[in-house]
């Protein structure tokens, strides 16, 4: 059994815009949530790049990382992730190099290879060229060079960026990034908070193929986990109806803002919808303190994760802060 005390706890925030509230409200809630995570001893607070989605306010990810870092003291803040196909590596290196100079030792650069949006938005992001399988590994290597020590004779220098050695993480929900992270000796985060199907296969492949590097001596894996904690299982299931509505919107192409919880929402769904949501949230942990502790312990045993990156879509901002506190307590009181 893997002790939960040996599993670090972190958070991924999509900066949900709530029904009846504003984008400014969502950004303020993100700051308060990051401050609560820091108070509870979370290791890092990551923000995700998404575009053209009415319920998500984290599209200008680097800007928001700077805002969150400026409102906290010591927690690491980073991207989970920057969708590298949307950006030139030099622009990413300069942005995160600037962040690293402003907040030394606190910035993470998590990279994904999906565009994080639809085709029309991809074109609006000036992504006219066709991506090949070789582009992402090449761009990651270019970022390593740009953020590494200055090389004599280099024609292109990231300034700021050069010499900051911002830690690079590879993110993914398939086997491609797992193999690449292993080959490059980089830490790896699996997006099981929304795509859990290949979690165990990807982790096994990453660990089996891992090659030690100057960055990392042995594999290090983060597992994404949807978590909603409350004083009782019943209340947690009620609060989770906001997440169920969000997931159903994603699956049906009807994305909305984060909706308030609905009593007995799960029971009102047909079997097909229930099965689809359950598959999406297969590693999710929803319940009171004991249920949360048992669920996280089971996941730790199954995955041997070094770190959990929780996602918590609770409509009421105060109850979301409470959810983090209950989750941290469950981790800390585990045997």
Q: Is the pLDDT of residue 127 over 60?
A: no
Under the banding of pLDDT at 50, 70 and 90, the label for residue 147 is very high
For residue 195, the model assigns a pLDDT of: 86
Q: What is the mean pLDDT of residues 34-57?
A: 95
Under the banding of pLDDT at 50, 70 and 90, the label for residue 53 is confident
Cβ proximity of 333 and 7 under 8 Å = no
For residue 155, the model assigns a pLDDT of: 86
**24/131: higher pLDDT:** 24
Helices (H) and strands (E) in the chain, counts: 13, 9
User: For the chain, what is the mean pLDDT?
Assistant: 93
Structure tokens at 309: 């990156």
Q: Is the pLDDT of residue 261 over 90?
A: yes
Report residue 161: phi and psi, to 5°.
145, -55
Instruction: Quote the CA–CA distance of 294 and 296 in Å, as a whole number.
Output: 6
Q: Is the pLDDT of residue 126 over 60?
A: no
Tell me the pTM. Answer: 0.93
Q: What is the mean pLDDT of residues 93-120?
A: 87
Under the banding of pLDDT at 50, 70 and 90, the label for residue 66 is very high
User: E strands of 60-114, at which residues?
Assistant: 76-83, 107-112
Q: Is the pLDDT of residue 118 over 60?
A: no
Q: How far is CA 16 from CA 37, 96, 146, in A?
A: 17, 23, 32
Under the banding of pLDDT at 50, 70 and 90, the label for residue 131 is low
4-331 folds as: TIM Barrel (3.20.20)
For residue 52, the model assigns a pLDDT of: 86
Distance between the two ends of the chain, CA-based, in angstroms? Answer: 10
Buried b (16+ CB within 10 A) or exposed e, 4-30: beebbbbbbbbbbbbeebeeeebbebb
- CB-based contacts of 311: which residues, under 8 Å, 6+ apart? 11, 12, 13, 14, 193, 224, 225, 226, 227
For residue 1, the model assigns a pLDDT of: 80
Among 274, 267, 285, 268, which residue's Cα sits nearest to residue 324?
285
Q: Is the pLDDT of residue 8 over 90?
A: yes
Under the banding of pLDDT at 50, 70 and 90, the label for residue 332 is confident
Q: Is the pLDDT of residue 157 over 60?
A: yes
For residue 129, the model assigns a pLDDT of: 57
Listed range (49-53, 162-166, 182-186, 320-324) with the worst mean pLDDT: 49-53
Q: Is the pLDDT of residue 179 over 80?
A: yes
Q: What is the mean pLDDT of residues 126-139?
A: 72
pLDDT in tens, 187-211: 999 999 988 899 999 999 999 999 9
For residue 125, the model assigns a pLDDT of: 59
Buried b (16+ CB within 10 A) or exposed e, 243-280: bbbbbbbbeeeeeebbbebeeebbeebeeebeebbeeb
Helix 175-184 / helix 199-209 crossing angle, nearest 10 deg? 20
For residue 2, the model assigns a pLDDT of: 84
For residue 76, the model assigns a pLDDT of: 98
Give bridge partners of residue 309 from the DSSP assignment.
10, 224
Q: Is the pLDDT of residue 21 over 60?
A: yes
- CB-based contacts of 258: which residues, under 8 Å, 6+ apart? 16, 17, 18, 19, 55, 242, 246, 313, 315
For residue 113, the model assigns a pLDDT of: 86
* Number of residues that this document lists for the chain: 335
**254/228: higher pLDDT:** 228
68 burial (CB, 10 Å; 0-12 / 13-18 / 19+) is buried
Instruction: Kindly list the domain boundaries of the chain, sorted by start residue.
Output: 4-331
pLDDT in tens, 24-41: 999 999 999 999 999 999
């Amino acid at each position: 059994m893997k002790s939960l005390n040996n599993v670090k706890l972190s958070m991924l925030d999509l900066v949900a815009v709530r029904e009846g509230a504003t984008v400014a409200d969502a950004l303020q809630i993100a700051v308060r949530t990051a401050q609560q995570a820091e108070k509870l001893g979370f290791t890092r607070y990551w923000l995700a790049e998404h575009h053209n989605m009415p319920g998500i306010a984290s599209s200008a990810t680097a800007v928001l990382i700077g805002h969150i870092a400026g409102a906290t003291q010591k927690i690491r803040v980073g991207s989970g992730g920057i969708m590298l196909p949307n950006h030139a590596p030099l622009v990413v290196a300069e942005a995160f190099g600037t962040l690293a100079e402003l907040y030394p030792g606190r910035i993470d650069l998590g990279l994904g290879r999906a565009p994080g949006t639809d085709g029309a938005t991809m074109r609006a992001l000036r992504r006219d060229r066709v991506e090949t399988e070789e582009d992402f590994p090449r761009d990651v290597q270019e970022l390593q060079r740009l953020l590494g020590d200055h090389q004599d004779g280099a024609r292109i220098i990231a300034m700021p960026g050069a010499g900051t050695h911002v830690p690079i993480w590879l993110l993914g929900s398939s086997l491609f990034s797992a193999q690449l992270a292993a080959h490059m000796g980089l830490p790896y985060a699996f997006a099981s908070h929304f795509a859990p199907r290949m979690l165990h296969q990807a982790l096994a492949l990453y660990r089996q193929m891992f090659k030690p590097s100057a960055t990392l001596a042995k594999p290090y894996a983060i597992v994404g986990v949807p978590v909603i904690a409350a004083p009782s299982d019943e209340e947690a299931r009620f609060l989770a109806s906001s997440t169920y509505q969000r997931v159903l919107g994603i699956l049906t192409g009807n994305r909305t803002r984060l909706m308030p919880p609905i009593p007995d929402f799960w029971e009102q769904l047909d079997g097909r919808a229930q099965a689809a949501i359950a598959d999406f949230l297969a590693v999710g942990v929803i319940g009171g303190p004991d249920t949360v502790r048992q669920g996280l312990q089971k996941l730790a045993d199954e995955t041997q994760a070094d770190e959990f990156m929780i996602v918590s879509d609770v409509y009421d901002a105060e109850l979301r802060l409470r959810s983090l506190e209950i989750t941290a307590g469950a981790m800390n009181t585990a045997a």
